[in-house]
Amino acid sequence: MYPSLANSEELLLDYATGSLPVAPSLVVATWLTLNPAARRQLGALEAIGGALLEESRPASLAAGAKAALLARLDEPQDETLDEAQSAPPPVAGGRGLPAPLAALLPAPLEALPWRRRMPGLKDWDLPALAGGKARLMRVAGRTRIPHHTHNGLELTLVLDGAFEDGGRTYAAGDLQLADPSVDHSPAVTRREACLCLVVTDAPVRLTGRFGRLLNGLVRY
């Protein structure tokens, strides 16, 4: 549904231009609440986009303009943007979920009807949103997610705790993008549980040793 999203800049650009579907937009809005660097990136993008639109007509972003915009985003940005946008507290430490996400929850986190998918892995589906399936995923400490790949795009935003994947640590406020080229098995290596907001626009496919057998049994 949104297969061209190669990186977070393109995600923010689509968000800024209003062309991102609702489900991934929820991830981006929540990410912006948690992550000052993402807010800076969006601010820079909007500033450059505004300048570009003033310079050229028509106002629609043609492919060339989009590429130029992304290229200019790679240039060093004015750090004064930093102070212009105040940072709400992160969810870590029990200070609550970001507002865009909290608004969609019918009950406090603990009272949601979590489903147990496998030992150490629980999830809860958000109300249906256009453009993807959104769910909260809770992974216990010292738990590995089974190897899988993706039939579409998977956006994973860490709300609390952290997970490791591909030699990188994703902590609260970090966003991971995965697509059909990614076959991975993220793991929570710490003692603390990890809470994530996950949006997919197509089912994932288990790829491990018993993946084919399990595909019909485990759906997440």
- Displacement of CA 37 from its chain's centroid (Å): 14
Residue 217 C-beta-side C-alpha neighbours within 13 Å: 8
Smallest gap from residue 148 Cβ to Zn ion (A): 6
Helix-helix angle 36-55:8-16, to 10 degrees: 60
Query: One symbol per residue from 144 to 183: x for binding Zn ion (CB under 5 A), - otherwise; what is it?
Result: ----------x-----------------------x-----
Burial-class residue 191 by CB neighbours within 10 Å (0-12, 13-18, 19+). exposed
**DSSP label of 177:** E
Minimum distance between the CB of residue 86 and Zn ion, rounded to whole angstroms? 33
Minimum distance of Zn ion from residue 214's CB (angstroms): 15
Helix H or strand E encompassing 213: helix 211-215
Q: Which is nearer to Zn ion, 10 or 179 (CB)?
A: 179
Of 61 and 155, nearer to Zn ion (C-beta) is 155
Q: What is the total count of residues that contact Zn ion (CB under 5 A)?
A: 2
Task: Work out how close the CB of 178 gets to Zn ion at its nearest, in angstroms, rounded to a whole number.
Answer: 4
101 part of the interface to Zn ion, by CB under 5 A: no
